[in-house]
């Protein structure tokens, strides 16, 4: 039998997720409607079960769908693991089967370029098929796409022409689908305008937890470089190099700054990474979950 407290948590999260999912706006993602709340603009950056074992050295059993359920967040980015991480967990074809558990969610995006820059033609073709058939499919993700230190002039996993072909194929689905890309603060100096002309949403990340205090300066710099590009804030829950949770004061700082930016319209989403560290007992995770419960219902003004 479930305890009464656990039953209340289950009921609360189901109401939050299903209430946002059944009211999916028919406008393109990125256009704020009068009915939207902060929760509507929160995402989880998700991986296959236990794929982060290679990074944190601890087993996780939380699936992508369970990560969204745990945080009470209605949007998800599913990111394939690189081949180096494959022994510890990756999404195995057929990929569309994974989307069944995600049907209650509002927005689903799937990686064409995954962790470590992994990409495979056969999986790319599957994602294009999903884009046509999966009702809540909203876009594709390019993770670790840009190469921070250009090698022989190579700036990204694909050429501009290859990315343009992806853009054409997405447009041919007849749906308004976004291309999301990971942008690390160490990549500010890369010349990327030709690539970014084909990309819809820049997701700002800083892998160094000590750099979280500089997040305001980082966004200002991104705004100066690409003033017309849509932006989201990426928030790590764990400091991967140190294999420990983000200190709660820093977690609070990035969340509160991100909330202010959402309310100001400077960004259109906050992304939390990710399901594979949510069941390991990190204080930063539980703090974030409580914070979402407190601010999630705050209404956002329409554009």
Q: What is the CATH number of the domain that holds 177?
A: 3.20.20.80
If we measure between CA atoms, which residue out of 98, 100, 96, 123 comes closest to residue 112? 123
Residue 28 forms part of a structural domain:
no
Number of domains in the chain: 1
Residue 138 lies in a domain: yes
Q: Which of 19, 99, 96 shows the shortest CA–CA distance to 65? A: 99
Across all residues in the chain, what is the average pLDDT?
90
Q: pTM of the full predicted structure? A: 0.89
Q: Which domain holds residue 76?
A: 36-295
In a domain, 9, yes or no: no
pLDDT at residue 23 in the model:
38
Predicted pLDDT at 289: 98
180 part of a folded domain: yes
In a domain, 118, yes or no: yes
- Report pLDDT digits (tens) over 220-260: 999 999 999 999 999 999 999 999 999 999 999 999 999 99
Point out the least confidently predicted range of 52-56, 77-81, 131-135: 52-56
Residue 12 clears pLDDT 70, i.e. is over it: no
Does 169 fall in a domain? yes
Looking at the predicted structure, is the pLDDT value of residue 10 above 60?
no
- The answer to the question of residue 15 being in a domain is no
d(CA 227, CA 139): 22
CB 48 within 8 A of CB 81: yes
Confidence of residue 24 (pLDDT cuts 50, 70, 90): very low
Longest dimension (CA), the chain: 62
Residue 45 lies in a domain: yes
Q: Which of 298, 279, 234 minimizes the C-alpha distance to 40?
A: 298
Residue 6, pLDDT > 90, answer no
Query: Would you place residue 13 in the very low, low, confident or very high pLDDT band (cuts 50, 70, 90)?
Result: low
């Amino acid at each position: 039998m479930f305890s009464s407290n656990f039953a209340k948590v289950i009921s609360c999260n189901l109401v939050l997720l299903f209430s946002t999912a059944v009211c999916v706006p028919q406008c393109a993602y990125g256009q704020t409607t009068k009915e939207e709340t902060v929760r509507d603009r929160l995402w989880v950056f998700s991986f296959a079960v236990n794929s982060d074992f290679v990074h944190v050295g601890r087993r996780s059993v939380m699936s992508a769908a369970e990560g969204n359920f745990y945080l009470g967040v209605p949007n998800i980015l599913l990111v394939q693991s690189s081949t180096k991480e494959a022994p510890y967990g990756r999404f195995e074809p057929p990929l569309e089967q994974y989307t069944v558990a995600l049907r209650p969610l509002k927005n689903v995006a799937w990686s064409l370029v995954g962790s470590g820059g992994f990409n495979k033609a056969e999986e790319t073709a599957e994602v294009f098929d999903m884009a046509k058939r999966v009702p809540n499919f909203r876009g594709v993700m390019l993770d670790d796409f840009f190469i921070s230190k250009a090698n022989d002039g190579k700036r990204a996993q694909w050429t501009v022409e290859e990315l343009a072909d992806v853009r054409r194929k997405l447009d041919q689905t007849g749906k308004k689908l976004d291309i999301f890309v990971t942008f690390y603060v160490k990549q500010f100096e890369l010349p990327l305008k030709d690539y970014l002309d084909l990309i819809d949403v820049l997701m700002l990340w800083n892998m160094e937890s000590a750099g979280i205090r500089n997040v305001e300066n980082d966004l200002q710099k991104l705004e100066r470089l690409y003033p017309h590009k849509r932006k989201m804030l990426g928030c790590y829950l764990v400091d991967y190099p140190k294999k420990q949770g983000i200190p709660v004061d820093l977690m609070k700082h990035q969340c509160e700054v991100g909330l202010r930016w959402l309310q100001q319209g400077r960004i259109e989403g906050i992304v939390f990474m990710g399901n594979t560290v949510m069941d390991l007992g990190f204080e930063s995770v539980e703090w974030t979950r409580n914070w979402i419960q407190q601010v999630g219902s705050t209404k956002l003004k329409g554009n």
